[in-house]
Amino acid sequence: MSVTIVGGGISGLSLAYFLLEKNPSLDLKILEAKDRPGGKIWSDRAGGFLCESGVNGFLDNKPMTLGLASKLSLSPLRSNDNAGN
C-alpha cells in the first residue's frame, strides 16, 4: 500500500509515525513545500541566541501526547510559572 501525506508539519509527521508504527512496510511519502520538516515549528540562531518559533508547549492531560513523547525518548520540562507570554 502507498500513502502520500501533504505537509511535513507536526500533524503530517505524527501521522507518518503512527502509520509506520502500524505498518512498517508501508510505502510512505511526505510532500513538504519548505526545505525542512516541522511546519511552523523550527529553531534558529540569531545573535548568539537560540530562537524557537511555533508551538512552545503542549497539554499534559492527554495520555496519547505523553505516550508519544515517551516513545520518542522526550522528557517534558515544566515551564516557569512566573514566565510571561
**pLDDT for residue 6 is more than 90:** yes
Which amino acid does the sequence have at 74?
L
CA distance 77 to 28: 32
CA distance 51 to 3: 34
Span between the terminal Cα atoms of the chain, in Å: 45
Domain boundaries, the chain: 2-71
Three-class SS state of 33 = coil
Model pLDDT for residues 30-85, shown as the tens digit of each residue: 999 999 999 888 888 999 998 888 876 777 788 888 888 888 898 877 777 776 65
pLDDT at 85: 56
pLDDT at 15: 94
Is the distance from CB of 29 to CB of 3 less than 8 angstroms? yes
pTM: 0.73
Which is more confident, 5 or 83? 5
DSSP-based helix, strand, coil % in the chain, nearest 5: 25, 25, 50
Model pLDDT for residues 11-45, shown as the tens digit of each residue: 999 999 999 999 999 999 999 999 999 988 888 89
